[in-house]
């Protein structure tokens, strides 16, 4: 399984591994890589399997356990201490890894808990299952994104979306993820959430920040309260005027919250 990523900064510095959400690619962190690098961290920004330029599972399986095993292999190439930053599916990967016994120095979860709101999850699922026949143009793909996330300003030039699309031989554009990602059912997902939760409860506590979009339809106050029963030490930072796509909806506020947390928990020697 080929896992593709970008790196930035000094490899001898403490590392921050970035893991995007389902249906995204490593390019979703484009506004966070440079601030982390400039703060002195070694940044490792990966495409999860089935996404972007990384490989697709031959059997179409994308369980958190498989994704966590990929993270374990990425970690094998990082010499020093490491923090994980995971959004949505990336956050689930991080929590599965924690339940499996891996222990970073710090953990940042972006708009994900172990009891997400079904309506928000269903909206994501419908977006990812939509347009199975692809798009005739990049503009059509931009229309789909705007319909899902109307709060974000639509770019004047949609060409940036090409990083999230692949052009097939039929001349149509398709999202740059394996459509089999959505083959599971809600019941199976619920069982996985519960299993991971039991592992997280038993894990050695890790300094954790939950960054939530204040307008998120995925992470509610009830979801946060349930999560705190598993991880009482978790810090919560709400980003105003942001939804589930927190990092993109409010880059500066997101970066500020993450950098402040890492500076307290995962310092880089005064830089």
The two tokens of residue 179 are: 């459509």
**H-type helices in the chain, by residue range?**
33-38, 64-75, 89-99, 118-129, 138-148, 186-202, 221-230, 246-249, 251-265
Q: Tell me the pairing of strands 208-213 and 106-110.
A: parallel
Domain residue ranges of the chain, discontinuous segments joined by +: 5-117+185-265
pLDDT, tens only, 67-120: 999 999 999 989 889 999 999 999 999 999 999 999 999 999 999 999 999 898
Q: Tell me the pairing of strands 42-46 and 106-110.
A: unpaired
Query: Is a pLDDT exceeding 50 seen at residue 271?
Result: no
Nearest-5° angle of CA 128, CA 134, CA 136?
Answer: 140
Query: Is a pLDDT exceeding 90 seen at residue 203?
Result: no
Report the alpha-carbon distance of residue 106 to residue 261 in Å, rounded: 9
pLDDT, tens only, 23-78: 899 999 989 999 999 999 999 999 999 999 999 999 999 999 999 999 999 999 89
Report the alpha-carbon distance of residue 207 to residue 174 in Å, rounded: 38
Asked whether 224 and 212 are in contact (CB, 8 A), the reply is yes
Q: State the architecture of 5-117+185-265 in CATH terms.
A: 3-Layer(aba) Sandwich (3.40)
pLDDT, tens only, 115-142: 999 898 888 888 888 899 999 999 999 9
């Amino acid at each position: 399984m080929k896992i593709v990523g970008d790196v930035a900064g000094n490899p001898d510095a403490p590392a921050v591994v970035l893991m995007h959400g389902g249906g995204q690619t490593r390019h979703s962190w484009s506004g966070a890589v440079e601030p982390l690098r400039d703060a002195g961290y070694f940044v490792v920004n990966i495409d999860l399997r089935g996404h972007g330029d990384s490989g697709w599972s031959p059997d179409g399986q994308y369980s958190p356990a498989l994704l966590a095993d990929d993270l374990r292999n990425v970690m094998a190439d990082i010499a020093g201490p490491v923090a994980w930053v995971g959004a949505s599916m990336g956050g689930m990967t991080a929590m599965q890894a924690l339940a499996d016994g891996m222990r970073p120095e710090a953990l940042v979860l972006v708009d994900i808990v172990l009891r997400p709101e079904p309506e928000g999850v269903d909206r994501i699922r419908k977006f990812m299952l939509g347009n199975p026949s692809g798009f005739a143009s990049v503009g059509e793909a931009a229309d789909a994104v705007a319909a899902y996330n109307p709060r974000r300003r639509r770019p004047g030039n949609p060409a940036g979306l090409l990083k999230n699309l692949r052009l097939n031989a039929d001349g149509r554009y398709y999202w740059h993820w394996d459509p089999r990602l959505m083959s599971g059912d809600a019941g199976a997902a619920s069982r996985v959430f519960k299993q991971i939760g039991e592992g997280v409860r038993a894990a050695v506590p890790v300094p954790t920040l939950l960054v939530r979009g204040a307008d998120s339809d995925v992470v509610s106050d009830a979801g946060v309260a349930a999560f705190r029963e598993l991880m009482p030490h978790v810090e919560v930072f709400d980003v105003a005027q942001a939804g589930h796509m927190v990092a993109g909806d409010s880059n500066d506020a997101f970066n500020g919250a993450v950098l402040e947390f890492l500076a307290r928990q995962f310092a880089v020697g005064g830089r």
